[in-house]
Amino acid sequence: MHEKMREAMLYEKLTGKNEGKVLCRLCKRYCVIEDRKMGFCLVRRNERGKLYSLNYGKSTGFAADPIEKKPFFHFKPGTRVLSFGTPGCNFRCLNCQNWQLSQGVREGGTGALEIPTTLPKKVVDLAVNHKCEGIAYTYSEPTIFFEYAYDCIKEARKRNAELFHVFVSNGYFSQEMLDLVEKEGLLDAIRIDLKFINDEKYREITGAHLLPVQQNIERVYKLKGKVHLEVIALLIPTLNDSDEDIRKLARFVAGVGKDIPLHFSAFHPYYKLSHLPATPDRTLRKAKRIAEEEGMQYVYLGNTRMAGVENTHCPKCKKMLIERYGFEVLKNEFENDKPVCPECGGRINIVL
């Protein structure tokens, strides 16, 4: 059994009255896991005092996507990434779009892990062969398959593959994980979902808490220049779409950094929230207006067909710098890979 699994990173064996148990330090849950038991994510198992990753290499959904689909609008615009994910998650989101994967073990048992193994070498091969400039660890929470992502990054570097690496995350990773990311320069960008600005709603809909996500948004922003950050807020009717909630969320993000790209995304009925209506365009427009009133410089609207709501403008002179529609970049006005407005010289928070 052990030969088929990768020993986990970021855990410690406990002693004394907790002999045989392990403390997982990968995410903010810090699970204490008994022998032969699994952590909250259901893909990390304690086997006789050693913690193993059960989802290592169990990747699926391979696709060559525009980076804008993740969505990253201020990181390597117009490039393509190889996207994939594995079973397992440290959240229990009632509206999860990828619940068959993220909640597969919880919904269907360990059979959800019976996916052919794709080793890191093959992942890098796929990225290179499909002419992708980077790899996006996504669909489910990449923190929960950190060992796999880590080995993919190391494999790419070993082969001198000029690939960047991005996490599409719920922001519930541990300080220890982020410290390792910073120390070894593992990631180039992290997109964090700020799902609610109310802890009660966070617990009700995701099974997690608000504060750890806020703390990680602050911590990643402090890595500016090393790790690029973008924040996504899915607006769910009746749950987080009030003027007060939107303003509070925008005010928090602005307090961290007014130059953080902030995406408001439309909700569509799905999974265990299929009884709720889709987010109307007027709510998205309201959110953009409120966020800009709070000083946010780059506010985008997603999951909508509205025109012009995905374009990047210079916050100083308002010149349109990048024109987008859907996931396609129609025009890019940046010159010589310099992150400055060609019109007024204003500095733009973008990685070209």
What is the structure's pLDDT at 4? 61
Strands 228-235 and 262-266 turn out to be parallel
What is the structure's pLDDT at 307? 93
Q: Which residues contact 97 (CB under 8 A, 6 or more apart)?
A: 270, 271
Give alpha helix (H) positions in the chain.
99-102, 104-108, 120-129, 146-158, 175-184, 199-206, 210-221, 243-256, 281-293
Pick from 186, 207, 187, 184: which is nearest to 195 by CA? 207
**Model confidence pLDDT, tens digit, residues 266-285:** 999 999 999 999 999 999 99
Cβ burial, residue 340 (10 Å; 0-12/13-18/19+): middle
Q: How many residues does the chain have?
A: 352
- Residue 122's φ and ψ, nearest 5 degrees, are -70, -35
pLDDT (mean) for 231-256? 98
What is the structure's pLDDT at 324? 97
What is the structure's pLDDT at 2? 39
Q: Which residues contact 222 (CB under 8 A, 6 or more apart)?
A: none
**CA angle (71, 228, 154) in 5-degree steps:** 95
Structure tokens at 232: 């996504």
**Model confidence pLDDT, tens digit, residues 143-184:** 999 999 999 999 999 998 899 999 999 999 999 999 999 999
**Model confidence pLDDT, tens digit, residues 47-72:** 999 999 999 999 999 999 999 999 99
N-terminal to C-terminal alpha carbon distance within the chain:
45
- pTM score of the predicted model: 0.97
Q: Which residue has the tokens 């309201």?
A: 286
What is the structure's pLDDT at 161? 85
- Residue 172's φ and ψ, nearest 5 degrees, are -105, 25
Q: How confident is the model at residue 3 (pLDDT cuts 50, 70, 90)?
A: very low
Contact 346, 338 (CB under 8 A): no
Task: Catalogue the long-range contacts made by 155-160 (C-beta closer than 8 Å, 24 or more residues apart).
Answer: 155/120, 155/121, 155/123, 155/124, 156/124, 156/127, 159/124
Residue 1 has pLDDT above 80, yes or no: no
Q: Return the exposure string of 212-243: e unless at least 16 CB atoms fall within 10 Å of the residue's CB, then b.
A: bbbebbebbbeeeeebbbbbbbbbbbebbbee
